[in-house]
A and B are shown apart, each in its own frame.
Chain A
Amino acid sequence: MNRLAKWIMRLYPAAWRARYGDEVDALLADSGSDARVVADLLQGGIRMRISMWSFSKLAPTLAIAGMLAGFGGSFLVTPTYRSVATMQITHAKINPADNPANRIANLNETIQQMETTVLSHTSLSLVVTDSRLELYSDERKTMPMEDVIQKMKRNIRIQFVSLPGRLGRQTSAFDISFTYPDASKAQQTVRALMERFDQQNQAMQAHHGGPGEVLDVLDTASLPKLPVFPDRRSFAVAGLLAGLTMATITATIRRISRQFTMSLPSPTA
């Protein structure tokens, strides 16, 4: 342990070692060293070293340390993946005399009606408890189903997609996305939601008695390879900024207090 303590002494600035090194050596010889002594020397060495650094050295060091810590820390966060699919809906029979804007508005209204049913408590509880999916199995042990459904709803997004040109005047399209810690389950859940949209469309057609709208798949549910959260780059940038902030605060405090500024006195001996 004494050897380790002496090795840690190298962390201290050379000028400081030249002035106090022998004295600390003698102290270690008298007191002996254990893990606590080694930790104390290490902490003192780092503080002394940092206290002597100018801002131009402190800032990049803390920024890089923060960036690495942020990047490393992102691996401690449970990643979540987002699967997305795109569906389109078209009137089975298009009347050329119809105003295209009204046509799209009607289709969008139909999508919203279907969305209300697909995202209802009954519909989503069937998806959650589907034995192939077994979503939120941990949460279901501790939370009421209503809360699990609310959590699931926050991770589902239905968004209209604008289609270009003539297609955009005849068809309305929308994305269905779901974010979940398991990429494969995210994909399977989006598929299940697409099926529910399809079933709902058929049910509406049966209710209105005739071919109303045609629902097609534009893009199948994707299998995400990269997580949407944590965004490792954002974590690294946040760490970098935190390091720079810390360097600025340290330099400011040091300038104000001047307590840690090293100007070694010359030995009397």
Chain B
Amino acid sequence: MSDPTLLVLASLAEGDKHGYAMMLDIEAFAGVKLGPGTLYGAITRLEQQDWIRPLKSADRRRPYTITPAGRGHLQTELAGLQQVVKTGLARLRHA
């Protein structure tokens, strides 16, 4: 999975995080190191879709939270991916 928007949603599904925390989390669970341009490009798009929301912060490190719509989108996308993975693995076993 290398779609940065899905990676950000998957990271926020675990809890609210600011940009750097997301970057570290994504690297840890997916092995993908997102650059700041890619990360904030994804954050921008996710905010436009109302799939994530910024939280109040006195710090420059503004945390984000996933919205119910974002959670629903992530669930749909992951279910689709799961189906692909399941089918692919089954076909590999029978090949």
Contact = CB atoms under 8 A, between A and B. Distances in A.
Contacts of B61: 23, 26-27, 30
B60 A268 contact: no
Contacts of A259: 45
Contacts of A37: 35-36
Interface of B: 18-20, 23, 35-41, 43-45, 47-48, 53-57, 59-62
Contact of A44 (B18, B23, B38): B38
Given A44-B35, A268-B53, A24 B40 contact: yes
A28 B48 contact: no
Interface residues of A, number: 33
Instruction: Identify the interface centre among B35, B39, B53, B57: most chain A CB within 10 Å of its CB.
Output: B35
Given A20-B44, A44-B41, A259-B45, A27 B56 contact: no
Given A27-B61, A30-B20, A48-B41, 15 more contacts: A5-B36, A24-B36, A24-B40, A26-B59, A27-B39, A31-B23, A39-B35, A40-B36, A43-B37, A261-B48, A265-B47, A265-B48, A267-B62, A268-B54, A268-B55
A20 B43 contact: yes
Given A24-B40, A27-B20, A263 B48 contact: yes
Nearest to B50: A265
A24 B38 contact: no
A269 B62 CA distance: 9
Given A41-B35, A265-B47, A23 B53 contact: no
A28 B57 CA distance: 18
Interface in A6-61: 16, 20, 22-28, 30-31, 36-37, 39-45, 47-48
Contacts of B36: 5, 24, 27-28, 31, 37, 40-41, 44
Contacts of A264: 44, 48
| Closest CB pairs A-B (n = 6) | A44-B37, A40-B35, A26-B60, A30-B20, A41-B37, A40-B37
Interface of A: 5, 16, 20, 22-28, 30-31, 36-37, 39-45, 47-48, 259-265, 267-269
Nearest to A51: B41
Given A24-B19, A31-B20, A48-B41, A267 B60 contact: no
Contacts of B40: 20, 23-24, 27, 44
A31 B11 CA distance: 18
A262 B49 CA distance: 11
